[in-house]
Amino acid sequence: MPKLLVITGPTGVGKTELTLRLAESLHCDIVNADSRQIYREIPIGTAAPTAEEQLKVKHWFVGVKSVHENYSAGDYERDCLKVLKQLNYRAILSGGSMMYIDAVCNGLDDIPKVEETLRNQVREEYRTNGLAWLQNEVQRLDPDYWEVVDRQNPQRLIHCVELSLSTGKPYSSFRKRAVSPREFDVLKVALQRPREELYERINERVDKMIESGLEQEARALYELRHLNSMQTVGYREMFAYFDGTISKEEAIRLIKQNSRHYAKRQMTWFGADKTIHWLDAKLNYEKQMDIITDWLRADSVR
C-alpha cells in the first residue's frame, strides 16, 4: 500500500519550513491539517502559509472556508480522504490539529447521539454563564479530556459536557481511537524542541503576528466574535482588548501564554501516540531528510 507522510508537532516547532522543503524534495503537494488555517479571513492569527509559500508548493485546505461556515473533524476526514485518493496518497499531511490528524489516519470514534432537549439545555447554560462555566464543567466531568482539549474552543467543550451528562460516563471513555480501515499506511513524524526554546519561538511568533497586523485583522472580524470559528487564541484576547476589559499589552501577554498552554496540550496528546516517530527540529535539513527517508523505506508503522 502507499504510505502517507504526516508531519506534526506543537505550534511554533517548525513544521511549515520542514514540510515545504520536504514537499519540494519529494515533488508532492501539502495537505493542511490545521483546523483554523482552513478559514480564509484569519491568515495572520493562524500563521497560514503565505502566498509565496503556496506558489512554491500546492497546498490543500488553506483558506477554503469562511469563518461563517461550520466545519467539523468529520467533514475534514471525508474531504481529506477524497483529496488524498485523488493524489494517489503522494502528499504530506501537515499540521498540529490533533483531531484532524486522528480523523484522517485512524477515523473518528462512534459517539452516541445526545437528545436535543439536553443539547439545547447545555447550549443555553453556555450562553448564560459563558466559557468559564463550560471549562469548569469539562474539568469536573472529564479530567482526562481537560488535559488535552482546546480549552478555548466552546464547540468541543460543549460536546464533552452534553455527552458526559447524557451517558453518565466521561466523554474520553468513548474515545477508543480504534483504527478504521485505510487504503494507505502512515508514517507519522512529530518535531520536537526543548520546551524553553519552543516557548521562546512561540513568543517571537506572536510578536511577528502583531507586527504583521493581527490587531487590524481581528478588528475587521469583531462583529463576528460570537462565531465558533472565532473562538481561537489570538482573536479572543484581541476581542477582550477591544471590549475594554484588558489592555493591548495584556492581550498580547495572554496570546503568548495561551499559545504556550496549547502547545503543552499538543505535546501531551502526541506523547500518548505510540506510532509517532520523534524528530529533533534542530537537526539540519539534510540529516532530517535522511532520517525520514529511512523511515519511509521501513515497514508500515500502522
The per-residue pLDDT string of the chain (302 residues; one tens digit each, 9 = 90 and over) reads 899 999 999 999 999 999 999 999 999 999 999 999 999 999 999 999 999 999 999 999 999 999 999 898 889 999 999 999 999 999 999 999 998 999 999 998 777 888 889 989 998 999 899 889 999 999 999 998 998 888 888 888 998 999 899 999 898 887 765 678 999 999 999 999 999 999 999 999 999 999 999 999 999 999 999 898 998 999 999 999 999 999 999 999 999 999 999 999 999 989 989 999 999 999 999 999 999 999 998 854 44
Query: Which class would CATH give 116-174?
Result: mainly alpha
Residue 226 burial by CB count (10 A; 0-12/13-18/19+): exposed, middle or buried?
exposed
* Four-point Cα dihedral 253, 257, 259, 261, nearest 10: -170
pTM listed for this prediction: 0.84
Cell numbers at 265, concatenated? 496540550
**The three grid cell numbers given for residue 136, joined into one nine-digit string:** 469548569
Q: Which residues contact 235 (CB under 8 A, 6 or more apart)?
A: 42, 45, 218, 221, 225
Q: Which CATH superfamily, name and number, covers 3-108+177-297? A: P-loop containing nucleotide triphosphate hydrolases (3.40.50.300)
Q: Where in the chain is the domain with CATH 3.40.50.300?
A: 3-108+177-297
- Pinpoint the residues of the chain covered by CATH 1.10.20.140: 116-174
**129, 121 in Cβ contact below 8 A?**
no
Output the CA torsion sign for 284, 12, 171, 115. Answer: negative
How far is C-alpha 233 from the geometric centre of its chain's CA atoms? 11
User: Do residues 219 and 44 lie in contact, with contact meaning Cβ atoms separated by under 8 Å?
Assistant: no
